[in-house]
């Protein structure tokens, strides 16, 4: 399965007030592993950045004057995500902004849901860790993902961190259908109305090599135990 972990940065929090994208970062994964094929661009938002947004990202108005407009990058961006499962933390927020940019670029581009499916890791985390903080930083700390180099928010950096977080969260092969709510952190009702999220269960099966290594390990445990080890017995009981 081809997956694209995606994050955006914006001029402000409210898409319905005309705030725009200033950065898109996306990391490709195949078989749950980053391929090294990334998409990253800064964008000229054609408007000023809110002071608070600038403090969070470190991006200033003057940094974006010579950057491309979204409509100049839209084909490249859609080609990168097409057919993939997008993994986004607080998907309502990012997809709401992306859909707004697609509308500005032209009706022929449709919406994100026309090009890819979406998995919201915020909704996923709320299901797995109810009542706990589930920001990206909180999940990094909980799951042992090193984010000490994250002094500021950044599209590509945050996408890379989220890729590690997602792999850690799904290491137990969680197979649930997750849906975010309209009160998602930093999200909005307008963004919620723009998005359809789908999720299919992931089933990971051991390769022949992994099966062989497992058998050899059990053989070694049997030998050390001077007979059938408890692990061999448990495996036998499971099979029968």
Predicted local confidence at residue 224, as pLDDT: 65
Length of the chain: 240
Q: How far apart are CA 187 and CA 170, in angstroms?
A: 24
Q: How far apart are CA 84 and CA 221, in angstroms?
A: 42
Q: Is 115 a known active-site residue?
A: no
Confidence of residue 150 (pLDDT cuts 50, 70, 90): low
Predicted local confidence at residue 48, as pLDDT: 96
pLDDT digits (tens, 9 = 90+) for 103-113: 999 999 999 99
Mean of the pLDDT values across residues 38-51?
96
Mean of the pLDDT values across residues 110-124?
97
Please tell me whether residue 50 adopts helix, strand or coil conformation: coil
Enter the tokens of residue 101.
Answer: 């940019």
pLDDT digits (tens, 9 = 90+) for 171-203: 864 443 333 343 444 444 444 444 444 444 444
Predicted local confidence at residue 238, as pLDDT: 47
CATH class of 2-192: alpha beta
Domain spans of the chain? 2-192, 208-239
The residue annotated as part of the active site, out of 19, 115, 153, 214, is 153
Please tell me whether residue 177 adopts helix, strand or coil conformation: coil
């Amino acid at each position: 399965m081809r997956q694209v972990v995606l994050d955006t940065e914006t001029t402000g929090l409210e898409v319905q007030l005309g705030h725009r994208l200033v950065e898109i970062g996306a990391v490709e994964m195949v078989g749950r592993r980053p391929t090294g094929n990334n998409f990253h661009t800064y964008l000229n938002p054609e408007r000023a950045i809110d002071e608070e947004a600038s403090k969070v990202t470190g991006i200033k108005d003057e940094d974006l004057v010579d950057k491309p407009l979204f409509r100049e990058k839209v084909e490249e961006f859609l080609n990168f995500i097409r057919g993939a499962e997008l993994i986004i933390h607080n998907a309502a927020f990012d997809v709401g902004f992306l859909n707004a940019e697609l509308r500005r670029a032209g009706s022929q581009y449709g919406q994100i849901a026309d090009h890819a499916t979406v998995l919201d890791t915020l909704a996923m985390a709320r299901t797995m860790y109810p009542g706990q903080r589930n920001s990206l930083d909180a999940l990094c700390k909980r799951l042992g993902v090193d984010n000490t180099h994250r002094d500021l928010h950044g599209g590509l950096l945050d996408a890379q961190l989220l890729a590690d977080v997602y792999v850690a969260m799904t290491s137990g092969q969680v197979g649930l259908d997750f849906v975010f709510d309209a009160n998602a952190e930093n999200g909005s009702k307008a963004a919620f109305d723009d998005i359809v999220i789908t999720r299919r269960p992931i089933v990971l099966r051991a390769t022949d090599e992994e099966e062989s290594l497992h058998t050899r390990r059990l053989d070694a445990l049997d030998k050390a135990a001077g007979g059938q080890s408890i692990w061999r017995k448990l495996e036998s009981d499971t099979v029968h």
